[in-house]
Amino acid sequence: MSTPILVPQLESDDQRLSVSLWLMRVGEEVTRGDRIVELLVPGVTFDVAAPCSGTLTSCDCRPGDEVHEGSVLGWIDSPESDQTADVDDSRLD
């Protein structure tokens, strides 16, 4: 299952926001909460965390690209087993 990495909601809509650098590379395994990409608001940088565990499969924005709240920065493929629990119905009576 693919999960997007999104630009989080900011307090101010009028701030210019850009991608500073990627902290992980495509193909690397990530854990939910890992710092994945650094964004820049003039004078301040902040990190965007992985929304789930899995493999970073795409970095859709390059350093210097301007982004906005809700923009897709990249994608993580997470194992289906993390998303749904397997239940053995034969054990239920």
pLDDT by residue for the chain (93 residues), tens digit each? 999 999 998 776 667 899 999 999 999 999 999 999 999 988 889 999 999 999 999 999 999 999 999 999 999 999 864 444 333 444 344
- How is residue 18 annotated by DSSP? E
Please report whether residue 10 resides in a domain.
Answer: yes
Residue 82's pLDDT is what?
A: 46
Residue 90's pLDDT is what?
A: 41
CATH of the domain at 43: 2.40.50.100
Name the pTM for this structure.
0.79
Angle CA 51–66–23, to nearest 5: 45
Domain that holds residue 11: 2-78
Please report whether residue 86 resides in a domain.
Answer: no
Considering only CA atoms, which of 59, 60, 15, 12 is closest in space to residue 40?
Answer: 15
In Å, how far from its chain's centre is CA 12? 21
